[in-house]
Chain A
Amino acid sequence: MATGKNKPNAARNTVSARGKRAHRAVTILVGTRKGAWLYHADAARGDWRSDGPHFLGHIINHVVLDPRDGKTILAAAKTGHLGPTLFRSVDGGRSWKEAAQPPAFAPTARGQAGRVVDHTFWLTPVHSNQADVWYAGTSPQGLFRSQDGGVSWTPFSCINDDAQYRRWMGSAQDGTPDGPKLHSILIDPRDPDHLYFAMSGGGVHESVDGGRSFTPLLDGLDVVEGFDAAQPTFHDPHCVRLCPSNPDRLYQQNHCGIYRLDRPARQWHRIGQRMPKRTGDIGFPMVVHPRDADLAWVFPMDGTQVWPRTSPAGQPAVYATRNGGQTWQRYDSGLPQRQAWWTVKRQAMSADALEPVGLYFGTTSGELWMSADEGRTWRCIAQHLPEIYSVETGVLA
């Protein structure tokens, strides 16, 4: 089993003169195409101490700190040549050990075609009253669960092998250029049996019975012109978020716009139509405020013609709504004003829980940006990283 042998790759680059204990208020967990990095800061978020690379050369799709203990970190990994795996730290990233049983589809009988996990794409820790339970989403689309803090994983729910869900998942040609993904695994903080997930492609789905069954949740969502919106396979949710302060409210950045859903209703509303027309409402990440369900942020990208997936007109900006999507404000102070053709992936933007909330995003060109004032002003805190795949935040114990 590969263990802390990965640690020699983790060089600590102290960019601050302050002691380590001062950097405990927030940690940014960055997954890249070539490894993972952690960045630590105090509540002022002025100085950041970098810690990495971890797993240099590994493709890290997601790195998540468990908020239940503030110590456990899971990293979804693979390399260009080897199969996928998961690494696990129980000491805040100081040492790592490989999962004993990474997510894998059930073996099929000899002669039958079975699916193979190419990579784990998404990781979600569950409730504080369900210690050590995690969910994982994979490419191709599969849903997996661990009950031992990420050491061993088993296929979860019926969807991995359900004939109807398999049709909705489609083939590799129906997924993203990097493979079809199961992502945005969301757990209702009031009820762990109430959960959602999303598939690119394949739509948004809900369970109210602990995952024994799921139903599509697609009303009101647009699909690409000419396709049947009643068919889940034609839906492409890029990122779905549940508001911690109001778990009945969901936001979604979709291939076809920005949406809000207030449960128990099942009708999504396209709030992105209030975005400036020249910017549009296409993008990948979406972030919600930890204490204000009316406040959310997106990072628009160009979805015209061949889908450049870059900042419209080469002028990157974050857009915020403070009223549930009725109006939007452009925030670009501190960001390049021209010739910046950035792409921000769906997992590469997140918020911390401090006051005021800090926002973070990473670009595919390897820059990590942050705002300590809820998006109004931005500064770059790391450059020259590999292509950034994911940005998450947490608080180390």
Chain B
Amino acid sequence: MALRSQLLKGVLDACVMAVVEEQPVYGYELSQKLQKIGLPDISDGTIYPVLLRLQKNGFIQGEMRPSATGPNRKYYFLTDKGKGELEQISSEWLQIAQPVSQLLKRSEKDEKRSRTN
């Protein structure tokens, strides 16, 4: 999935931060977790531009640590700045999520109806 639209970028940023907030993870773990949550069509690599962007903005930070399977991995943590950002995105998202999905569902129905007519 090419994340060209700003909206999807923002949403994915928030998802990554939310996973990292729960527990520091490294790249591969993060992509597995996102897929398990049910965000399907995200190719594994999609997370890396996101991780870079979040690091650049100071929302997350990487640190080398030994992983459960042995070798050292770069684990990502949420910074204080990231926590603030995540809270803000979450509250904004929750405000618009329900009305938007209702609206979009309705327009989808309209489209189907107009096609059948």
Asked whether A and B interact, the reply is no
Which residues on A are within 8 Å of B, measured CB to CB?
A: none
Which residues on B are within 8 Å of A, measured CB to CB?
A: none
